[in-house]
Structure 1
Amino acid sequence: MKTVELKGKLRETVGKSNSKLLRRADQIPCVLYGNGENVHFHTHENSFKEIVYTPNAYLVKIDVEGKTYDAVLRDIQYHPVTDKIIHVDFFQVHEKEPVWMRVPVVMTGNAIGVLNGGRLVQKMRKVRVKGLPSVLPDELTIDISKLAIGKSIKIADLNIEGLEFLEPANAVVVLVKTARAVVLAEDEEGEEGEEGEEGAEAPAEGGEAPKEEAAE
């Protein structure tokens, strides 16, 4: 798995007042846990552009005043109004200890069901997996070329050596739906339109025809 680096400084004090002061200076309060004693530090908000605002998953190498830690992003708190990051939690990882992460799903190939008129629906954009840091993938690649109409790929269908999937086995990752429902809906709309045109002639004999509600 790819690694990004992040530098921070130890917090002299913790608490709401100190956190507010840090945020006014564009610094984000952070905590690293998972190895007994928690490490409280802060870093500039721009440090999270590559980590947070991306569909990718990364291991994070954190440098806090010369001491380095390998970690994964665990939780992000956002301001309810501005949507700015106000706090970040990291979990320290170790080479020989398994850890879980959310890994993005990437599909390859052209589903045969889509070529036959179906519609591809991706139910899961990320999947929770657990494994040693050395075997965690950057992304989960799924070949959908043989996926026919009415068929799906579930968590139970995925098998990657060294990885444990933490989602329910029957959870659907991607499927191809029939387009028949879409065609029927279009036909019904067409019939309603024809009825409306015929009804438009009625007011000539007296009485205004009721106005149809706008389609949503």
Structure 2
Amino acid sequence: MEKKALKANIRTQMGKSTLSTLRKNGRVPGIFYSRVNEPIPIDVAEKAIKPFVFTAKTNLISLELDDNKNYECVIKDVQFDPVTESIVHFDLLGLIEGEKFQLEVPIQFQGTAVGIKEGGIVQQVLHKLEIECYPKDIPQFLTVDITNLKLGEAIHPTDLSFENISILTPAEAVIVTVVHPKIEKEPVPGEAAAEAPAEPEVIGKGKAAEEEEKD
């Protein structure tokens, strides 16, 4: 897989005020984690990190720090602002050749489900699968063939197999299913429909990131 460069500065100052200043200046704070190094606080240009976050593929990152050291890594976690949906923090995971590691990889579907011809609609439940593999076997995405998926059926992690990759997502999880389309109920005059507020997606930070936010 092709590696893409990402330039980052090592942060020497911590605390909420420092993080706030960085974000106002178009920088995004993050943490680089590695089994062989202590966590390294870093920051990158927001426009530089966006292509690695807003993508349907896994990207190998060649992290270029301002101390002239380079590391191969992938994005581990990302946190978004619940209102603006902008990136407010990210974690990178350093890779070591010859050692397995865990990460989430996007799913892409292949084919047209037979259940559609039966009057159903395809409902995607999971957009990523958690896997374990060696760095050399990292896929950009996992292809799931839904051609034979009938109305009322679902695909689970146990239905899939990929060479040199172990799937860690729980076996009972539903990845995709074909369901009957919902029939909209005619509203009763004078009856207000109560809608539950949508909860924003929040992806947790690593331990080092949580500690620096407390400062």
Shorter-chain TM-score: what band? Answer: 0.7 to 0.9
Match of 2:203 in 1: none
RMSD: 2.4
Matched residues in 2 for 1:5 and 1:101: separation? 19
Match of 1:53 in 2: 54
Question: What 5-or-longer segments of structure 1 have no aligned partner?
Answer: 193-210
Matched residues in 2 for 1:4 and 1:116: separation? 44
**Match runs of 1:25-36 below 5 Å:** 25-34=25-34, 35-36=36-37
Higher relative contact order (CA 8 A, sep 6+): 2
Report if aligned partners of 1:2, 1:138 keep a CA contact under 8 Å in 2: no
Match of 2:9 in 1: 9
Tell me which structure has the larger Cα radius of gyration: 1
Q: Deviations over 1:110-164 (max 9, x none)?
A: 1111112222111111111111111121111111111122222111001112111
Question: Share of identical aligned residues, percent?
Answer: 32
Q: Which amino acid aligns with 1:61?
A: S
Report if aligned partners of 2:61, 2:74 keep a CA contact under 8 Å in 1: yes
Match of 1:111 in 2: 113
Once the two structures are overlaid, the 10-residue window that deviates more, 33-42 or 15-24, is 15-24
Report the Cα offset of residue 55 of structure 1: 2.7
Match of 1:196 in 2: none
Report if aligned partners of 2:56, 2:141 keep a CA contact under 8 Å in 1: no
Aligned residues: 191
Report the Cα offset of residue 21 of structure 1: 2.9
Report if aligned partners of 1:118, 1:178 keep a CA contact under 8 Å in 2: yes
Question: What 5-or-longer segments of structure 2 have no aligned partner?
Answer: 194-215
Matched residues in 2 for 1:121 and 1:82: separation? 27
Match of 1:212 in 2: 189
- After TM superposition, the score normalised by the length of structure 1 is 0.78
Report the Cα offset of residue 170 of structure 1: 1.7
Match of 2:163 in 1: 161
**Match runs of 1:117-128 below 5 Å:** 117-128=119-130
Match of 2:101 in 1: 99
Once the two structures are overlaid, the 10-residue window that deviates more, 138-147 or 78-87, is 78-87
Deviating 4+ runs (over 6 angstroms)? none
Greater helix share, 1 or 2? Answer: 1
Counterpart secondary structure, 1:21:
helix
**Match runs of 1:63-78 below 5 Å:** 63-65=64-66, 66-78=68-80
- After TM superposition, the score normalised by the length of structure 2 is 0.78
Matched residues in 2 for 1:122 and 1:81: separation? 25
Report the Cα offset of residue 215 of structure 1: 8.3
Match of 1:62 in 2: 63
